[in-house]
Amino acid sequence: MTAPVQDFLVQARIVARDLRHRGLIQRALGKYEVARDRKQAAFGSWQSARQAAAETKWDAINHLDQYLDQFAQRLEARGTKVHWASNGAQAREIILGIIKSKGAKSIIKSKAMTAEEIHLNDAMEQAGYEVVESDLGEFIVQLRHEPPYHIVFPAMHLTRDEISDLFQRKLGSAPTNEPEELTMIARRALREKYLTADIGITGANFAIAETGMISITENEGNARLTAALPKTMITLLGIEKVLPELADLALFLPMLATAGAGQTMTGYNTMYGGPRQPGECDGPKEFHVVLLDNRRTELLADPEQRDALHCIRCGACLNVCPIFRNVGGHTYGTTYSGPVGSVITPHLRGLQDWKHLSASSSLCGACTEACPVKIDLHHHLLHNRRNAATGKPSVLERLAYHAFAFVANRPALWLFGKEVARLFQPLHVFVKGSYLDPARPWTATRDTPEMAPESFKEWWRNRR
Amino acid sequence: MTVTLFIPCFVDALFPRVGISMVQILERLGHRVECPEDIACCGQPAFNSGYWDESRAIAGPVLQKLRDKEAVVIASGSCGAMLKVFYPQLFADRPEAADADRLSSHVWEFSDFLVRKLGVTDLGARFPSKVTFHDGCHGLRELGIKRSPRALLEKVQGLELVEMPDCETCCGFGGTFAAKFPMISTAMGEVKCTSAAATGADYIVSNDSSCLMQVQGLLSRQGSRQKTIHLAEILAQQ
């Protein structure tokens, strides 16, 4: 296996100059921006809403122990089994254990990034179970055997024609370019699966401590069917999903829809409070909730970056990120891509292995500006860079900055350096852009400015 | 007022016209201008790369030289943000913390200094061209500068400002990022150039020479007829 940084560089080089990809993503996200701006304007004050949301999440995360306890107790009081998983392996074991105890064969699943995070589908398939993704985008990428491209829009990198081709090959459908027809093809394939599935697995958008409820928002109704039809329902969620009160949803549901997809509200918003109660005629007979830590508590222990746990996975920071737009979601090689992925992946999977994601940013701050819960995203990239350099500095880079500081603090030496550069500049033309050019990373695609015959400081001295 | 210019290292060596324009404008407005010649760099490259000790080795002396000045003015949102926003973080919980906070309170980006500190928008400049304005990210998001450069451009005789839809999108420079991840940096710059080209402007203007170096580098390589120019150079034209 190659190092993540090598994979990232190779993929970034390919995708960044893929003009077809660039056009596709720019168009899709351009439309998103227009819709988002319109919906944001419908808020009395979007900035006040962000502030309120940030404060609510701050409370939730800073009292996570209490709220999680309350959440679990309320759920258990209505007959839900709550499981605590410290890491991915434990969560997989718990879920596979439930599946096995039910003698299940087939599983239907709605969208859950936490399931991607712990590679749940692979584990279930390896154990011999049939798993079908019911979200249209997830269904498409599952057919392609690839991970979601984006945390909210898993198949945004594909055109309708590509999806039609895929359906022809995998489902034997007739070619079509109509979104409605493509949806109907997927729906026909999926409806059968809902009816035969023994187990439904979902993720969660929010966990309400006050009432012990799971809140799921979706646009296709697939999560409702996933939860309602099979006899057993399993919900897997990260511990950071907690909100203190039910009333908090009044802000968070429209905010998630607006920031994530430029919608007023997501199509379906459902709350699950437990398994079928006596006297009720539908709903799962058994309801399991698996709470996943997987190093989130390490992030919690870092006061500087703790606010990264505020994330509601809306994807707004990905949508506005010029890096994401140019390298695409798969290049990151992580479950969570884009700015928030670059911030949290080093915490979840190791700083030294994933520090390149924090380095590959121009620190433009568009992410921080877009984040509905005000996570200080681009400054956390700086913090990760500092922590990475402190933990394991690059000898060469440190030496270079030492030398630079040495020269910068000695005006005569600095002046001498400028003269040397000016002297060598005419020779640059002979190697410019070639592999012999020390400035090749710049000059391969860009021209260099000429050094001025008279620098500002020379001009300044001469005029006095 | 005595105005102390902080001339970023690359402006000094590559774009001296920007500094000269600032001196001309400020002196025309009747201010005394000074420029400490022994300051080379703000320390941002090391800071952004995570080498905060090495950054402090440069930033410490800068702080000592500038802390007691009346107004420190910088023609770059990027270096301006370093002094105004990041020095207080770099020196937090250190003996220099108070100095860093003091310096922060009187550091100004050039266009913001003219408009919000001096209250001037009409400098009597004349520049008969069609231009589009690129918001440098550090100026825009770290320093909150959006209105000031436009207020100044609106008063320039003969100048027509045509906004591009992605004026707030990063040009892809990002300091050492441009050299460490050239393929991503270049793609971002190309997106910016395409957006600017669609306006039909003669010039892409910004208040940050580092963004302009990136954009000009691509424009020249592409053989584009568009050119870049720093806001201060336009404002100095009579």
pLDDT level of residue B57 (50, 70, 90 thresholds): very high
Q: What is the pLDDT of residues A267-324, one digit of tens each?
A: 999 999 999 999 998 899 999 999 999 999 999 999 999 999 999 999 999 999 999 9
Question: What does the pLDDT read at residue B168?
Answer: 97
Share of chain A above pLDDT 70, in %: 100
Provide the token pair at A239: 């511990």
ipTM of the complex: 0.96
Share of chain A above pLDDT 90, in %: 94
Q: How far apart are the first and last CA of chain A?
A: 63
The region of weakest confidence among A100-104, A217-221, A432-436, B177-181 is: A432-436
Torsion of CA B148, B151, B156, B157, to 10 degrees: 180
Q: At what angle do helices A338-349 and A351-359 cross, to 10 degrees?
A: 160
Question: What does the pLDDT read at residue A429?
Answer: 86
Question: What does the pLDDT read at residue A2?
Answer: 67
Q: What is the pLDDT of residues B194-217, one digit of tens each?
A: 999 999 999 999 999 999 999 999
The arrangement of secondary structure in B2-117, i.e. its CATH architecture, is 3-Layer(aba) Sandwich (3.40)
- Rounded to whole angstroms, the Cα distance separating A321 from A213 reads 33
- Rounded to whole angstroms, the Cα distance separating A94 from A116 reads 16
CA distance to partner chain A, nearest, from residue B10 (Å):
9
Q: What is the pLDDT of residues A338-365, one digit of tens each?
A: 999 999 999 999 999 999 999 999 999 9
Q: How far apart are the first and last CA of chain B?
A: 23
Chain B contact set for A390 (CB, 8 A): 50, 52
Residues A389, B51: C-beta atoms closer than 8 Å? yes
pTM to 2 decimal places: 0.96
Check if the beta carbon of residue A363 is closer than 8 Å to that of residue A386.
no
CA B206 vs. chain centroid, Å, equals: 8
**Domain residue extents for chain B:** 2-117, 130-235
Residues A447, B221: C-beta atoms closer than 8 Å? yes
Q: How is domain A48-294 classified at the CATH fold level?
A: Rossmann fold (3.40.50)
Q: In what order do the strands lie in the sheet with A213-218?
A: A242-243, A206-208, A213-218, A268-272
Among A324, A355, A460, A464, which would you mutate to test the B interface (most chain B Cβ atoms within 10 Å of its Cβ)?
A460
Q: What is the pLDDT of residues A59-114, one digit of tens each?
A: 999 999 999 999 999 999 999 999 999 999 999 999 999 999 999 999 999 999 99
Q: What residues contact B34, with CB distance under 8 A and at least 6 apart? A: B2, B3, B4, B5
Q: Is B78 exposed, middle or buried (0-12, 13-18, 19+ CB in 10 A)?
A: buried
Residue with tokens 């520090």: A355
Determine how β-strand A130-133 pairs with β-strand A206-208.
unpaired
CA distance to partner chain B, nearest, from residue A30 (Å):
10
**pLDDT, mean over chain A:** 96
Residue A187: CB atoms within 10 A of its CB come to 15
Question: What does the pLDDT read at residue B199?
Answer: 97
Mean pLDDT across the stretch A220-241?
96
Which chain A residue's Cα is nearest to B12?
A456
Question: What does the pLDDT read at residue A436?
Answer: 87
Residue with tokens 């919980």: B93
Determine how β-strand B203-206 pairs with β-strand B130-134.
parallel
Chain A contact set for B180 (CB, 8 A): 359-360, 441
* CB nearest B11 (choices: A385, A393, A456): A456
Residues A323, B15: C-beta atoms closer than 8 Å? no
Chain A contact set for B170 (CB, 8 A): 322, 362, 364, 366
pLDDT level of residue A438 (50, 70, 90 thresholds): confident
Question: Which value, in Å, is the radius of gyration of the alpha carbons in chain A?
Answer: 26
* CB nearest B184 (choices: A323, A401, A451): A323
- Rounded to whole angstroms, the Cα distance separating A364 from A188 reads 45
Q: Is the pLDDT confidence value at A1 over 60?
A: no
Q: Is the pLDDT confidence value at B6 over 80?
A: yes
Chain A contact set for B175 (CB, 8 A): 362
Q: Is A410 exposed, middle or buried (0-12, 13-18, 19+ CB in 10 A)?
A: middle
Residues B46, A12: C-beta atoms closer than 8 Å? no
Q: Is the pLDDT confidence value at B238 over 90?
A: no
**Domain residue extents for chain A:** 48-294, 395-463
* Residue closest to A255 by CA, chosen among A39, A436, A4, A19: A39
Q: What is the pLDDT of residues A34-57, one digit of tens each?
A: 999 999 999 999 999 999 999 999
Which chain A residue's Cα is nearest to B136?
A364
- Rounded to whole angstroms, the Cα distance separating A377 from A399 reads 29
Question: What does the pLDDT read at residue A435?
Answer: 87
* Residue closest to A272 by CA, chosen among A234, A241, A243, A311: A234
Mean pLDDT across the stretch B73-83?
96
- Rounded to whole angstroms, the Cα distance separating A150 from A111 reads 12
Q: Is the pLDDT confidence value at A434 over 90?
A: no
Mean pLDDT across the stretch A453-464?
92
- Per-residue 3-state assignment (H helix, E strand, C coil) for chain A: CCCHHHHHHHHHHHHHCCHHHHHHHHHHHHHHHHHHHHHHHCCCCHHHHHHHHHHHHHHHHHCHHHHHHHHHHHHHHCCCEEEEECCHHHHHHHHHHHHHHCCCCEEEECCCHHHHHCCHHHHHHHCCCEEEECCHHHHHHHHCCCCCCCCCCCCCCCCHHHHHHHHHHHHCCCCCCCHHHHHHHHHHHHHHHHHHCCEEEECCCEEECCCCEEEEEECCCHHHHHHHCCCEEEEEEEHHHEECCHHHHHHHHHHHHHHHHCCCCCCEEEEECCCCCCCCCCCCCEEEEEEECCCHHHHHCCCCCHHHHHCCCCCHHHHHCHHHHHHCCHHHCCCCCHHHHHHHHHHHHCHHHHHHHHHCCCCCCHHHHHCCCCCCHHHHHHHHHHHHHHHCCCHHHHHHHHHHHHHHCCHHHHHHHHHHHHHHHHHHHHHCCCCCCCCHHHHCCCCCCCCCCCCHHHHHHHHC
Chain A contact set for B137 (CB, 8 A): 362-366
* CB nearest A452 (choices: B13, B142, B188): B13
Residues B15, A449: C-beta atoms closer than 8 Å? yes
Q: What is the pLDDT of residues B111-164, one digit of tens each?
A: 999 999 999 999 999 999 999 999 999 999 999 999 999 999 999 999 999 999
Higher pLDDT, A218 or A428: A218
Check if the beta carbon of residue A194 is closer than 8 Å to that of residue A231.
no
Class of domain B130-235 (CATH, top level): alpha beta
* CB nearest A326 (choices: B11, B137, B184): B184
Residues B183, A17: C-beta atoms closer than 8 Å? yes
- Rounded to whole angstroms, the Cα distance separating A98 from A236 reads 13
CA distance to partner chain B, nearest, from residue A306 (Å):
18
Chain B contact set for A412 (CB, 8 A): none
Question: What does the pLDDT read at residue A261?
Answer: 96
DSSP B157: B
- Rounded to whole angstroms, the Cα distance separating A138 from A149 reads 10
Share of chain B above pLDDT 90, in %: 99
